[in-house]
Structure 1
């Protein structure tokens, strides 16, 4: 489903703060609260909005170390194999197939560097992994939870 301008503005308002009232969002976008609710319900039903969640600073949960790991896979490894192999790691935040030399890029959170090292060793030991290349994040400078700018 492609969002129209009004739906996109509603989504941006929710992405900024999903706890905002429909009345507050309606005031911002020029609709009544019931009209905003109907649109949000339609966006949920269509799958354009996949859910509501809370964003937590990983450090508040004890995850002080962040890294990105490039995964280079053995021949005949499909995206489903990568997903099944890495989804069981609680330290893995995101897994994406990518262009370039690597087959996938994995975002990992760990309690410290030693914990990250253990996770990296386990990932490197997966049967589909030929090799890995990792970088530790020093300071996350910008994190966006929406894309584009509301009009």
Structure 2
């Protein structure tokens, strides 16, 4: 569990991972070396797992986004689903879920036909009984760090 100061540092990095320790220090009231020590500790404990860049999918040619609900055959483990989906570079997120479906998969594709081919390939996986998909018309809210749950 992060304390308030660590959480503020994480939020600053989530907004811009290239932000300097001095800049973050000004935001949270610490010196740059103190921020660096806290970031190093957060990395060492696994609270921060890495730094990345966020790219608009359309800039990379991914114009179509959709979600696929996967309904699996009996006794399919999450590990089997994960192994089956890892091969698809179009899959950007996949999670097991409650409800009727066993998993929900977020997919980016270059166009509708590409999405259809990915959907057909996923539906053909041996562990998949059936799928149900929806296409995204307009993304309304995308958060990369939403703060603490309290």
Common topology (TM > 0.5): yes
Question: Which stretches in structure 2 are left out of the alignment for 5+ residues?
Answer: none
Paired residues in the alignment total 148
SS in 2 for 1:108: strand
Task: Kindly report which structure 2 residues correspond to 1:64-143, keeping only aligned pairs within 5 A, or say none.
Answer: 64-143=63-142
For residue 6 of structure 1, what is the aligned residue in structure 2?
A: 5
Q: Note the alpha carbon deviations across 1:6-31, whole angstroms, 9 max, x for none.
A: 00000000001111100010011010
> CA RMSD for the aligned pairs?
0.7
Distance 1:43 1:88 in 2: 31
Hey, what does 1:21 align to over in structure 2? Answer: 20
- 1:22-61 matches, within 5 Å, as 22-61=21-60
**Structure 1 residue 148: deviation in Å?**
2.2
Partner of 1:133: helix, strand, or coil? Answer: strand
- CA apart distance, 1:84: 0.1
In structure 1, list runs of 5 or more residues that go unmatched. Answer: none
- SS in structure 1 opposite 2:70? strand
Q: In 1, distance between residues paired with 2:147 and 2:22?
A: 24
TM-score, with structure 2 as normaliser:
0.97
User: What's the secondary structure of 2:107's corresponding residue?
Assistant: strand
